[in-house]
Structure 1
Amino acid sequence: MHPDPPVSASTSPIPQKLSFSTKLAYGAGDLGPAITANILAFFLLIFFTNVAGLSPGIAGSILMISKIWDAMNDPIIGILSDRTRSRWGRRYPWMIFGAIPFGIFFFLQWVVPPFDQQGLFWYYVVIAIIFNSFYTIVNLPYTALTPELTQDYNERTSLNSFRFAFSIGGSIFSLVLALVIFSVIKNNPQAQYLVLGGVCAVLSILPLYWCVGGTWKQTMTGQHFLDVEARSEESLPFAAQLRIAFSNRPFLYVIGIYLCSWLAVQATAAIIPYFVVDWMRLPESNFTLVALAVQGTALVMLFFWSAVSKRAGKKAVYFMGMSLWIMAQAGLFFLQPGQVVLMYVLAVMAGVGVSTAYLVPWSMLPDVIELDELQTGQRREGIFYAFMVLLQKVGLALGLFVIGLALQWAGFLETTPGQSPPIQPDSALLAIRVAIGPIPTLVLIAGLILTYFYPITREVHAEILLKLQERRSSTFAADPDISQK
């Protein structure tokens, strides 16, 4: 699933301006997925070990299986969504009928049934597979609404800015909500997570129906746009798509940069609860505050880096942000219990860099697509975006699995349900510190090296755009009626 190539106002059949309420409703569609994804990233691993009583190896295996399935089901749902024909269009039936199961199976991930380790493993694997299926069922058709709402290039940019605001806002809101629930419900971790899961489930379902109700009329009015995706790109065999993607050298750099950035983000999110509770010896609520410090700073810095990027370029912004992030991540290894203020300073420094992980890799991808268009004469966004997401999910799955396995090898002691968390041995504490410090630091340095060698500079990109413009001008000059085809 992918948006079609940008269509200029001169070639768009009916340039449209969307109302503020339509854009607001569209943005709300990403609120539920953002809330659930953020809660799972920060809390699920520690829930498995400290509440459900699973060993870190089993917990990591569950996360790996769920992420790999999440990557595999994207093309399946994408094809089915494309082929759907109904009076509600192609996308809305999936969102309408998938929203409630999406919320229900999110909630069921926070239930602890009275099973042994093997029984719990299979329970959480099955629930995770079903939840991730419904996550894709509601989220993928939602993202495909953009070209069906409007063909206007600037309106699409505006739509995605609303979506991005709801996405980051939902992530921050979910952490605040967790902080409130954990402070109200004390000394009962299972009840804390049940309430958090239930409230987030309801809050994730409702905005999806707001999105459907607020955008349906606009989409139905624009039924003549429904063939956009079919016109934009031929259906190619998977092997052919693979050859296209991996023959583009700058794309390989972008994938590497993106994986390094987000592997560091996700690994830190998974391990930070153990670091705060077991190493820093602070109450669990503190790791929520640390996460808020990181994400709040990242949200604010997005606007700053966006402005700086216009002057200094993407590579320069990435180097500036990563430099602070690397210092913060490395500093966490040397942090000692009692240095709470320094911990929050490092969290803010990390947030400055995390914002560039949001901003830079995805802004590099259109440059890669334009280079491919210059070389081949075709625009193939779908192939590049699909492999970007696929490799991201597989990479994160393997990373989370390795973290869980490393904790288990280091002798991490899981919590027996109903009892207080045990005192961790020195080997487990060292593993936690290595997982939050040196490992993400080395990954981020690898990302910096890839960025240094990334070949599309501002000057190269300007030359690509100039050549594309010359080609398009000559094409229109040779065939004045092409815009009508």
Structure 2
Amino acid sequence: MTASKAEGAGAPAASPKLGLSTKLFYGFGTVAFGVKDQGFSSLLLIFYNQVIGLPAATVGAAIMIALMVDSVLDPIMGQVSDNWRSRWGRRHPFMYAAAVPVALSYVLLWNPPDLPPSLLFAYLVVVAMVIRSFITMYEIPSSALAPELTQDYHERTRVFAYRQFFGWFGGVGMTILALQVFLRPSADNPVGQLNRDGYQAYSVAAAAVMLVAILVSAAGTHRHIPRLRVPPQRKVSLPMVFREMAATVAHRSFLMLIVAGLFNAMAQGLFLSLNLYLGTYLWQLSSGQIAILAASNFLSAILALIFAPPVSKGIGKRDAARLMKACSLAFATTPIILRLLGVFPANGDPLLMPLLFAAGALATATTIITSILISSMMADVVEDSELRTGRRSEGLFFSVSAFVSKVVSGVGIFISSAILALVAFPNGAKPGQVTPEVIERLGLSYVVVLAALYGGAILAISLYRITKADHEATVSKLAQKA
């Protein structure tokens, strides 16, 4: 029996259109990833740098090391998940197992003991690596469920729209809760985002939310296990595993998406890491005002959920992704460029907050739509690869994507810390006390680097080749083989 027929023997019948409850349960689990991702990207650098006292470059290096080491587990998790056999299917055993360790390790991350800088650096590396590893145990199998739940070209875009919606909604919601409730100014900490006690309370609340999100999503999609793919039982050697992994990920369109993801992840790490610095020191906003701007991401997530499917259906996934990425760059950088040119409202001007809110909402909405489209394009690679190789490797594809995202988002955070060092940004700085020259250098560096990263992503997306007609023809051929 050929490899393709062996795979086809375990193929389920064409999946029906997914109900709203399935999309909601599936997407809700991404709240956990969103909380972790927003915490790492928006709060962790300023917490360990300005609150704990580690140099920015040291914090950036620690995060990057942890993410790079942890990311090695992604392809392994993907391959294991693809070939796992149990009465709970390929994905759900790992999703359930990750819940409690994710919550516990996240609490430890925000409650470091009093240690000398060298040991504190090691603590940050180890704990960050642990939390990311257990998130991998949930996120890779969860991501791989989407191509199994539906093979429909446009339905996949809708599924990933819900996934991105909940990821952003959960992450932003917890960040706003942190800024509005836990990181409030006090007599000892007049700048709320520098309140150490607040971060400790935030860690417990965030951990509880992550625990619930993972368990609810796993339980809510559990009923679909009987109709999901069961891999054929076969004997494989370690060299064979690596050969198959290499052959699978060599897919041209997949590689283009990986390159696009590389630039996107670096840009996102840069954007989120420096956003709180820009809000605090460039725009001189309070924690409450920053929370209001962060609330614009709720609107962004809703806009993306609404508009991603019709934009994709109207002009195609690839062209829509390129357009949305270009719009995101324009919305993200225009306020800073106008401030550097001296034509943006001054700090404290009544127009400042509405303009920043609108620009931020649109920049994030177009970023989310781009992510939705790239994920949906990634799902379409699954069948194209299956037709060519005879192996269905959802977990491997999404794990390699996560691998790249983890590594280079760490690079993005490292670039952020390098920019802070390059512009000589002071440690322990108070808003209004940083010289205008330093602020201008920070803004200019941010715009230039972000534009270069977005340009690289747009170029890579342009080289993706799978169309709707290609996908439908591939699914039809696979059905005939099965």
TM-score, normalized by length of structure 1? Answer: 0.79
Equivalent pair of 1:233/1:380 in contact (CA under 8 Å)? no
Find out whether 1:456 has 2:465 as its counterpart: yes
Q: Give how far 1:267 is off.
A: 1.1
Question: Which residue matches 2:325?
Answer: 322
Equivalent pair of 2:253/2:381 in contact (CA under 8 Å)? yes
Find out whether 1:251 has 2:254 as its counterpart: yes
1:138-188 CA distances to partner (integer Å, 9 max, x unpaired)?
Answer: 4444456668xx86657x958766544433331232233123215755436
The answer for unaligned runs of 5 or more in structure 1 is: 477-481
Find out whether 1:118 has 2:131 as its counterpart: no
Question: Which residue matches 1:479?
Answer: none
What are the within-5 Å matches in structure 2 for residues 380-399 of structure 1?
380-399=393-412
TM-score, normalized by length of structure 2? Answer: 0.79
Q: Secondary structure at the match of 1:198?
A: helix
Question: Which residue matches 2:337?
Answer: 334
Taking the aligned partners of 1:161 and 1:138, their CA distance within structure 2 comes to 19
What are the within-5 Å matches in structure 2 for residues 124-143 of structure 1?
124-143=124-143
Question: Which residue matches 1:441?
Answer: 451
Question: Which residue matches 1:237?
Answer: 241
Amino acid paired to 2:469: A
Taking the aligned partners of 1:103 and 1:24, their CA distance within structure 2 comes to 22
Q: Give how far 1:44 is off.
A: 1.0
1:257-292 CA distances to partner (integer Å, 9 max, x unpaired)?
Answer: 222233222211110111111112222333333333
- Comparing 370-379 with 322-331, which one deviates more in the overlay? 370-379
The answer for unaligned runs of 5 or more in structure 2 is: 340-345
Taking the aligned partners of 1:94 and 1:447, their CA distance within structure 2 comes to 32
Q: Give how far 1:441 is off.
A: 1.4
Equivalent pair of 1:251/1:368 in contact (CA under 8 Å)? yes
Taking the aligned partners of 2:167 and 2:235, their CA distance within structure 1 comes to 28
Change (3 A) 1:463 1:29: closer
Change (3 A) 1:90 1:324: closer
Of the three residues 207, 210, 229, the one matched with 1:204 is 210
Taking the aligned partners of 1:442 and 1:183, their CA distance within structure 2 comes to 34
What are the within-5 Å matches in structure 2 for residues 152-163 of structure 1?
153=151, 163=163
Change (3 A) 1:357 1:214: closer
Equivalent pair of 1:81/1:91 in contact (CA under 8 Å)? yes
Question: Which residue matches 2:367?
Answer: 354
What are the within-5 Å matches in structure 2 for residues 43-442 of structure 1?
43-78=43-78, 94-143=94-143, 153=151, 163-182=163-182, 184=184, 186=186, 187=189, 189-214=195-220, 216=222, 218=223, 222=226, 228-230=230-232, 236-246=240-250, 248-294=251-297, 296-336=299-339, 337-338=346-347, 339-373=352-386, 375=388, 379-415=392-428, 423-425=433-435, 428-442=438-452
Change (3 A) 1:358 1:144: closer
Amino acid paired to 1:456: R
Equivalent pair of 2:423/2:438 in contact (CA under 8 Å)? yes
Equivalent pair of 2:15/2:151 in contact (CA under 8 Å)? no
Equivalent pair of 1:31/1:166 in contact (CA under 8 Å)? yes
Q: Give how far 1:302 is off.
A: 3.7
Change (3 A) 1:379 1:328: same
- Comparing 226-235 with 29-38, which one deviates more in the overlay? 226-235
Q: Give how far 1:127 is off.
A: 1.4
Equivalent pair of 2:57/2:418 in contact (CA under 8 Å)? yes
Equivalent pair of 1:261/1:357 in contact (CA under 8 Å)? no
1:52-101 CA distances to partner (integer Å, 9 max, x unpaired)?
Answer: 11111011012102211331122444566678787877655655554233
Change (3 A) 1:445 1:74: closer
Q: Secondary structure at the match of 2:110?
A: coil
Find out whether 1:36 has 2:36 as its counterpart: yes
Amino acid paired to 2:275: I
Taking the aligned partners of 1:268 and 1:11, their CA distance within structure 2 comes to 42
- Comparing 201-210 with 40-49, which one deviates more in the overlay? 201-210
Change (3 A) 1:204 1:328: same
1:178-227 CA distances to partner (integer Å, 9 max, x unpaired)?
Answer: 232157554361122111111111122123333455555x367x3xx687
- Comparing 164-173 with 370-379, which one deviates more in the overlay? 370-379
Amino acid paired to 1:193: Y
Equivalent pair of 2:385/2:392 in contact (CA under 8 Å)? yes
Q: Give how far 1:231 is off.
A: 6.3
Q: Give how far 1:304 is off.
A: 1.5
Amino acid paired to 1:238: F
- Comparing 420-429 with 39-48, which one deviates more in the overlay? 420-429
Taking the aligned partners of 2:322 and 2:159, their CA distance within structure 1 comes to 29
Equivalent pair of 2:304/2:365 in contact (CA under 8 Å)? yes
Q: Which has the higher relative contact order, 1 or 2, with Cα contacts under 8 A spaced 6 or more apart?
A: 2
Taking the aligned partners of 1:422 and 1:463, their CA distance within structure 2 comes to 56
Change (3 A) 1:343 1:376: same
1:217-266 CA distances to partner (integer Å, 9 max, x unpaired)?
Answer: x367x3xx6871346998843255234423x3333322222222332222
Taking the aligned partners of 1:238 and 1:360, their CA distance within structure 2 comes to 29
Taking the aligned partners of 1:364 and 1:145, their CA distance within structure 2 comes to 15
% identical equivalent positions: 24
Change (3 A) 1:111 1:175: same
